[in-house]
Amino acid sequence: MQWLSSTIAPLQNLIGFLYKKSKTNDVHKKQLLTELRDNLNVFKNAFMDNTPYENVIDLLSNTAIRNAIKENFNFTKLKEGKIKIKHIKEDRNKRYLGWTAEKLTDKIDEKIQELKNIKQLNGGNIKKIEAKVSIKLSNLYFRMKLLADFIQSGS
């Protein structure tokens, strides 16, 4: 998880922001923000403790996303508009330029589910495909961080 090292300091600020932002009466928004915060915390703690990827995958959650979709939640409540260059803090996220919070959240959900399925398909052991899983976890982390950066941005 060396790819996480350059973002660990700003990550703590984002986690704090998401904690404050989740103080809302909108149940789905609260659950989504809390889940995003918790997932980012999983990455932070996994990096600091050098946790195996299997454990990280087990702790990642997409339940709030799935529930919000079932309830036809309007994802613009997380953040209106589209991702602009000013929202992007890592060059690797430039491919998400023009995406909405809904589209990005959908891709986050898809990646979490894919990782859980890959782990299960491999009997809970991902050692033989660890490089592939590392890339997928990295992509997931930077998507989640981008979503949090986008939500935090003023406009």
The per-residue pLDDT for range 58-83, each reduced to its tens digit, is: 999 999 999 999 999 999 999 999 99
pLDDT at 52: 92
d(CA 103, CA 86): 18
Domain with 108 in it: 2-152
pLDDT at 6: 66
Count of domains in the chain? 1
pLDDT at 8: 67
pLDDT values of the chain reduced to their tens digit, one per residue, 155 residues: 565 666 667 788 899 999 999 999 999 999 999 999 999 999 999 988 889 999 999 999 999 999 999 999 999 999 999 999 999 999 999 999 999 999 999 999 999 999 999 999 998 888 889 888 999 999 999 999 999 999 998 74
pLDDT at 48: 86
The residue written with tokens 């923000």 in the block is 33
pLDDT at 130: 85
pLDDT at 155: 47
For the record, the structure tokens of 58 come out as 């087990």
